[in-house]
Amino acid sequence: MIRFWPVLVIIAAFGLPWLPGLPLFWVTLGNEIGIAAIVATGLVILTGIGGMTSFAQASFMGFGAYATAILSTRYGVSPWLGLPAALLASGIAALAIGAITLRLRAHYLALGTLAWSVSLYYLFGTLDLVGRNDGISSIPPLQLAGVKFVDVRQSFTLIALALLASLWASRNLLDSRWGRAIRALRGGSVAAASFGVNIAAARMLAFVYAAVLAGLAGWLFAHLQRAVNPTPFGLNASIEYLLMTVIGGAAQLPGALLGAGLVVIVNDRLQDWLPLLLGHAGNFEVIVFGLLLVLVLQFAPSGLWPLIARRTAATRHTIGTIALPKRATPAPGPALEVSGLRKRFGGLVAVADLTFSLSAREIIGLIGPNGAGKSTSFNLLTGVTKPDAGTVRLAGRDVTGLSAPAMARLGVARSFQHVKLAASMSVIENVVLGAHLRGNASPIAGVFRQDRAEEAALFGEAMRQLERVGLAELADRPATSLALGQQRIVEIARALCLDPSLLLLDEPAAGLRHAEKQALAELLRKLAAEGMAILLVEHDMEFVMNLAARLVVMDFGTRIAEGPPAEVRRNPAVIEAYLGSAA
Ligand code: ADP
Ligand code: MG
């Protein structure tokens, strides 16, 4: 299928600069916008989507620009071979800087990158290798089939094609297994980690990818300007790139071009107008941009692009029919053995001493009043929180203290009491995250779209699980547009995508109507019959008593009773602690 807009952009890339009567000045401005938009595209993925703020994008652009400048002026290397060198230089610099800095979160990360930006600016300005503050000049222009790209119109075409390639690669990345991992980072990474995503790797991927795009922009810049010095790679420039991303619409790729266009044009106009207005020259644009940023954040916090394109159509995913390989059916015997589990938060002992076991094909209800420690127990059993004492065994193997991704790999899947779905993703995209570990396509395969067969199989699996829970019709809806009860069911479909041997559900029936509860009970019975071990935290007593063969009752972090529902119901301690207080 030929998509319409890339064809249009390619025609524009070649035709636009030659438009009769178009002042050359606008073409020059267009070139500036295009290069900036490439940097901003990387920032959309890093900041807008991945939630990591970087004040160092201009520095990464510098690595790319200097790499190709040094190679082409000192060693006579062809500028075309300078391209992979530039991408590699920015990528490796990001890998090194990221390894030190990405441990930091939120504002601290922003400050960390800011520090790098300032240091690298001074480094560029003092290193002899890169010509200190004078930089490197006489950089050879790009040449193709005898044509030298020295003319701004030819440069325009080249830049437009590079931007198009960047947008294409970025869209592919976002629409891949690793791209979904990056998209799931925003708003807490617990869910992603619980389905096996290596959070540190996903963050690093976004960081390096954004730097590589900045390196591409740096390479273009070096060969089109034919000279480089530290100024365009300083903190001011980095702030402008961030501004473009925020103003354009931080979470959407077209926002990068919109933001770059606005900032470059406004910047250019202001340099003419402000001195007239204020009577003398100076860096007053900074103040105007500051105001502009405050206004955008106030009135259009998601940037301006969403105002232009109200709703982006849901991405169409190919739903494959080839089934994914399944985990071996677990041997009969205890699937989960918990013994003496303990967790303290400061002065509060949330889980004091929890002991119970659960077999394959069994459904157990974990009940108890609010604050009894049920959700904390779930976090301890799934590797989200590390226990202070006690052991957890999975099919006989000691797994105490393993990480959430490691537990996911061993077949433990869960849902959350407070629903954790990515708001920016559709229902099926959220569900397919559950199958993250059942694919193995690399980010590079994703960028070049070599992952389509695997993706179709993963989406096929997600669709089957959605059909199983009865939500197939809502697959393409934004996940958070569903009723809360349905979102819980989406979480179950996501958990099933992991092909779990142990399923932990935290209040799955909350917010469901009677018929929906019955359908859920039916599904859970069927899953247990197929060999799954299911641990259920539930407040709806009728629901859990009809479903579970055994109940484990918790109060103040300990097990106060255990047994068949009918027996537990008559237990005086339970009546006292739980049913009594509810009655
Ligand atoms: P339940 O799910 O049974 O209602 P929780 O496991 O959520 O109970 O909470 C048990 C106790 O531990 C509560 O008193 C709660 O406030 C406390 N708690 C839970 N998580 C944390 C945390 N991360 N930090 C401090 N206290 C916590
Ligand atoms: Mg809870």
| d(C-alpha 43, C-alpha 217), whole Å | 13
CA of 368, closest atom in ligand 1: 3
> For ligand 1, atom 25, which residue shows the shortest CA distance?
345
CA of 417, closest atom in ligand 1: 2
pLDDT tens figures, 329-372: 777 779 999 999 999 999 899 999 999 999 999 999 999 999 99
| d(C-alpha 536, C-alpha 505), whole Å | 5
Q: How far is the CA of 51 from the centre of ligand 1 (A)?
A: 27
Q: What is the mean pLDDT of residues 121-138?
A: 90
Ordered DSSP codes for 475-530: TTSBGGGS-HHHHHHHHHHHHHTT--SEEEEESTTTT--HHHHHHHHHHHHHHHHT
Burial status of residue 419 (CB atoms within 10 A of its CB: 0-12, 13-18, 19 or more): buried
Probe residue for ligand 1, chosen from 375, 385, 414 as the CB with the greatest number of ligand atoms within 8 Å: 375
Q: Which ligand is closest to the CA of 366, given by its number?
A: 1
Q: How far is the CA of 407 from the centre of ligand 1 (A)?
A: 21
Q: Quote the tokens at residue 403.
A: 């990480």
pLDDT in the model for residue 326: 86
Q: Is 383 in the pocket of ligand 1 (CB under 6 A)?
A: no
> For ligand 1, atom 7, which residue shows the shortest CA distance?
375
Q: How far is the CA of 435 from the centre of ligand 1 (A)?
A: 29
Q: Is 374 in the pocket of ligand 1 (CB under 6 A)?
A: yes
> For ligand 1, atom 24, which residue shows the shortest CA distance?
345
Which whole-number Å values give the CA distances from 544 to 371, 535, 553, in the listed order? Answer: 19, 11, 12
pLDDT in the model for residue 152: 86
| d(C-alpha 330, C-alpha 449), whole Å | 36
Q: What angle do CA 286, 291, 294 make, to 5 degrees?
A: 125
Q: Quote the tokens at residue 187.
A: 């708003």
> For ligand 1, atom 16, which residue shows the shortest CA distance?
371
pLDDT tens figures, 177-217: 999 999 998 867 899 999 999 999 999 999 999 999 999 99
Q: How far is the CA of 561 from the centre of ligand 2 (A)?
A: 18
| d(C-alpha 318, C-alpha 457), whole Å | 9
Q: Is 557 in the pocket of ligand 1 (CB under 6 A)?
A: no
Q: How far is the CA of 348 from the centre of ligand 1 (A)?
A: 9
Ordered DSSP codes for 516-573: HHHHHHHHHHHHHHTT-EEEEE-S-HHHHHHH-SEEEEEETTEEEEEE-HHHHHH-HH
CA of 379, closest atom in ligand 1: 6
Please tell me the least confidently modeled range out of 64-68, 120-124, 281-285: 281-285
| d(C-alpha 351, C-alpha 389), whole Å | 10
> For ligand 1, atom 21, which residue shows the shortest CA distance?
345
> For ligand 1, atom 17, which residue shows the shortest CA distance?
350
pLDDT at position 484 over 50: yes
Q: How far is the CA of 538 from the centre of ligand 2 (A)?
A: 9
Q: Quote the tokens at residue 335.
A: 């699937």
> Residue 466: which pLDDT band, with cuts at 50, 70 and 90?
very high
Q: Is 373 in the pocket of ligand 1 (CB under 6 A)?
A: yes
- Secondary structure of 60-77 in the HEC alphabet? HHHHHHHHHHHHHHHCCC
Q: Is 376 in the pocket of ligand 1 (CB under 6 A)?
A: yes
| d(C-alpha 108, C-alpha 226), whole Å | 36
Q: How far is the CA of 559 from the centre of ligand 1 (A)?
A: 16
Closest CA to 39 of 168, 237, 214: 214
Range list of H helices, 300-403: 305-308, 374-381
Q: Quote the tokens at residue 304.
A: 């301006």
Q: What angle do CA 257, 260, 265 make, to 5 degrees?
A: 125
Task: Name residues with Cβ closer than 5 Å to ligand 2, which is an ion.
Answer: 374-375, 417
> For ligand 1, atom 5, which residue shows the shortest CA distance?
373
| d(C-alpha 154, C-alpha 142), whole Å | 10
pLDDT tens figures, 555-572: 989 999 999 999 988 888
Closest CA to 502 of 528, 534, 530, 529: 534
| d(C-alpha 566, C-alpha 551), whole Å | 10
CA 406 to chain centre: 19
12 close to 160: Cβ distance less than 8 angstroms: yes
Q: Quote the tokens at residue 137.
A: 């000049």
Q: How far is the CA of 350 from the centre of ligand 1 (A)?
A: 6
| d(C-alpha 110, C-alpha 112), whole Å | 5
pLDDT at position 1 over 50: no
| d(C-alpha 228, C-alpha 57), whole Å | 16
Q: Is 367 in the pocket of ligand 1 (CB under 6 A)?
A: no
Q: How far is the CA of 187 from the centre of ligand 2 (A)?
A: 20
Q: What is the pTM of this model?
A: 0.93
* Length reported for the chain: 583
Q: Which ligand is closest to the CA of 374, given by its number?
A: 1
Q: Which residue has the tokens 């480094």?
A: 123
Average pLDDT score over the chain: 90
What three-state secondary structure class fits 334? strand
> In sequence order, what are the beta bridge partners of 412?
502
pLDDT tens figures, 425-456: 999 999 999 999 999 999 999 999 999 999 99
CA of 537, closest atom in ligand 1: 2
Q: Which ligand is closest to the CA of 506, given by its number?
A: 2
pLDDT in the model for residue 355: 94
Range list of H helices, 369-504: 374-381, 404-409, 427-432, 443-447, 452-469, 484-496
pLDDT at position 2 over 60: no
Residue-wise burial string across 98-119, b where 16 or more C-beta atoms lie within 10 A, e elsewhere: beebbeeeeeebbebbbebbbe
Q: What percent of the chain has pLDDT over 70?
A: 97
pLDDT tens figures, 485-526: 999 999 999 999 999 999 999 999 998 999 999 999 999 999
Q: How far is the CA of 465 from the centre of ligand 2 (A)?
A: 25
Q: Is 350 in the pocket of ligand 1 (CB under 6 A)?
A: yes
Q: How far is the CA of 511 from the centre of ligand 2 (A)?
A: 15
Q: Are strands 147-148 and 363-367 parallel, antiparallel or unpaired?
A: unpaired
475 close to 211: Cβ distance less than 8 angstroms: no
Probe residue for ligand 1, chosen from 348, 351, 536 as the CB with the greatest number of ligand atoms within 8 Å: 348
Q: Is 372 in the pocket of ligand 1 (CB under 6 A)?
A: yes
Q: What is the mean pLDDT of residues 461-475?
A: 95
